[in-house]
Structure 1
Amino acid sequence: MDNVVDLDAAVREIDRRRGVWQGLGIAAGETTWRDRGEEWPHPFKTGRAAVVDADSIGVELAKGPQRGSIVLFTGGWADFAYGDGDDLLVQEAPGWGDPLDVGKFAGELDRLTKLFA
């Protein structure tokens, strides 16, 4: 898989939103990293220093019954999921066929945040 997005820069976009999430009452989990060099299934790690060849990052959000997550892969696509705890469920793969860059990933983080409002 080609590395088309800088995951370290993308993590900074996650970190920039943590204060906003807290202010909105959204609990954000630790950023997770996956190392493609590890045996399958690749374990998730929460420390960047423990990952040699990162192939994805992710974060989970929660507020009351609402749950959401986004996982960005170095290939430029993301797994995007949101559920309102009732009947609304969003599952998408933004960037599939039209790779995300860090700016577009930031837009997906903002879109996920707005679903919690």
Structure 2
Amino acid sequence: MLTWEDFEKVDMRTGTILEAKMFEKAKKPSYQLVIDFGPLGIKRSSAQITKHYLPEELTGRQVVAVVNFPPKQIANFFSECLVLGVYDEVNDVILLAPGKPVSNGQKVG
């Protein structure tokens, strides 16, 4: 079982996608995202969300991400956060987002 202390170690924050483009060198279809987390700064992420979203639909969209993982190198790109989503019936990701607009960098809890 997960303890409350374990949960508190996961730093989930809101951010707004500033840029989304195809990640040509990824093994699986993915986008490279640039996300504004307000006081935490700008972070980049690789996300396998191409089934439900086009890059132009993502720009300006608020998302929820884990921001305290170490950077992960994927091909020639360093992913600095993990954008969160829900798997649909065929295992494609649907992004998690706040129900109403919030400030970038707000903590999820």
The alignment's TM-score, normalised by the length of structure 2, stands at: 0.30
The one of the two structures with greater contact order (alpha-carbon pairs below 8 A, sep at least 6) is 2
Bigger share in strand: 2
The alignment's TM-score, normalised by the length of structure 1, stands at: 0.29
